[in-house]
Chains A and B, each alone.
Chain A
Amino acid sequence: MIYEVFRQERKGQPLQHAGSVEAANDHFADVYAREQYGRRGESTALWIVPRSAVIAIDEFVDELNRNYHRVDGYPLKEKLKEARERAGTAAAHGDR
């Protein structure tokens, strides 16, 4: 069985993918992961997850173009320029 290993380098940091180990069962996966990713004190925690339990997503289709979730959904520059012109303060700001 293949297990994916995640390790935390220091307390408070996120657990990040470190690699994988192949093991006959959970017990051996525990032993191998400790040896491979923890024996030099380089980790404060490990997560060992059977690869079959990982649900992988790598496509993010945005059919409805929901740009209100994103920075590019708020084009302020043009509107600000217009508003400043309306207020008569455009000269003080240059084109910023």
Chain B
Amino acid sequence: MNEQEFLEYVQSGGQVETADWMPDDYRAKLIKFIEMHGNSELMGVLPEREWILRAPTLQRKLALTAKVQDEVGHSQLIYRVVEDLGKPREQCLDDLISGKAKFHNVFHYPTKTWGDVGVIAWLVDAAAIISQKALLKCSYAPYARIMKKICWEESFHILHGRDVILTLMNGTDDQRELVQESLNRWWGPLMQFHGNPIAKEEDPMYIWRIKSQGNEEARQQFLDGYVPQIWELGLTVPDQKLRKNDEGLWEYSEPDWDELKSVVTGHGPRSQERLDLRRRARESSAWVRNVVLADAA
């Protein structure tokens, strides 16, 4: 099989296993994409972790802790896929904390209130699950298979998030205001989440069928699924231009692509602080890895 035949194979729905031949460019794109996903799962727990000790009830504390464990578990599963493609996990972690590798924009922002915990679990996870469901058809089969388990667990998180939000919305005016204020801050990053509206035919990740849908398609799906759910609670989406047009497509104000670029390259409000925490955690737990590996040798 040559590169052209391989391309035709994946474009017609063919799937690839670890030991199969694949073009170098395909392997490199896979590693980059999947590694960023793993990084995002790992970094994504840090904003929520900040609220474990401040959760309003024991039940919420347990649920939040379980979610954090799920996400770290996802990063382990995903890094395993990257390792089998040729990049060791240690190297992924090195590149992450040195700032060389990226993670998703939404995990670079502060969590200021308990409302943020609800908005993250509900809407950030909803945006993420749309991307992840589209990966169930990924041309790289080991990644697609692991996504099945991940999507299943993410659906719990959305449930948890909705429950947090509904509880607040059924509470006091102050609580409802808390949710609205949180939604106002998260809406921009949420609209940037699926990336710029590059035509899918020009997106290398789509060309190789690593992704099965374009960025704008994913954003439309998010708006279609969740804007009505936001509205029905009496919340306001902070975008005057947001509306569904006669062709059934959502119109909205242009997301701030400069902000997205600056944030994912490590210039977000919490980027460095969170990377520092990851760095310190890695250093302070090094002795555990050394003991375990020495003992196993």
Contact = CB atoms under 8 A, between A and B. Distances in A.
A21 interface: yes
* Dominant SS among interface residues on chain B: helix
Nearest to A25: B296
Given A19-B149, A22-B83, A36 B293 contact: no
A28 B19 contact: no
Contacts of A1: 296
B295 A24 contact: yes
Interface string A1-34: 1100000000000000011111011001000100
Nearest to B296: A24
Contact of B80 (A21, A35, A58): A21
A58 B217 CA distance: 37
Interface residues of B, number: 16
A19 B77 contact: yes
B89 interface: yes
Nearest to A28: B292
A19 B145 contact: yes
B76 interface: yes
Contact of B76 (A24, A25, A36, A56): A36
Contacts of B292: 24, 28
Contacts of B146: 19
Contact of A56 (B19, B83, B84, B296): B19
Most chain A CB inside 10 Å of its own CB: which residue of B84, B149, B295: B149
Contacts of A25: 295-296
Interface in B161-176: none
B110 interface: no
Interface in A34-74: 35-36, 40, 56, 58
Interface residues of A, number: 16
A58 B19 CA distance: 10
* Dominant SS among interface residues on chain A: mixed
A36 B83 contact: no
A54 to B, nearest CB: 12
B14 interface: no
Given A35-B73, A36-B73, A19 B293 contact: no
Interface string B40-60: 000000000000000000000
Contacts of A18: 149
Contacts of A2: 80, 83
Interface in B59-87: 73, 76-77, 80, 83-84
Contact of B293 (A21, A24, A32, A58): A24
Interface string B103-139: 0000000000000000000000000000000000000
A19 B80 contact: yes
Most chain B CB inside 10 Å of its own CB: which residue of A19, A32, A40, A58: A19
Contacts of B84: 20
B232 to A, nearest CB: 30
Given A19-B149, A24-B292, A24-B296, A36 B19 contact: no
29 contacts: A1-B296, A2-B80, A2-B83, A18-B149, A19-B77, A19-B80, A19-B145, A19-B146, A19-B149, A20-B80, A20-B84, A21-B76, A21-B80, A22-B80, A22-B83, A22-B89, A24-B292, A24-B293, A24-B296, A25-B296, A28-B292, A28-B296, A32-B76, A35-B73, A36-B73, A36-B76, A36-B77, A40-B153, A56-B19
Interface of A: 1-2, 18-22, 24-25, 28, 32, 35-36, 40, 56, 58
Interface of B: 19, 73, 76-77, 80, 83-84, 89, 145-146, 149, 153, 292-293, 295-296
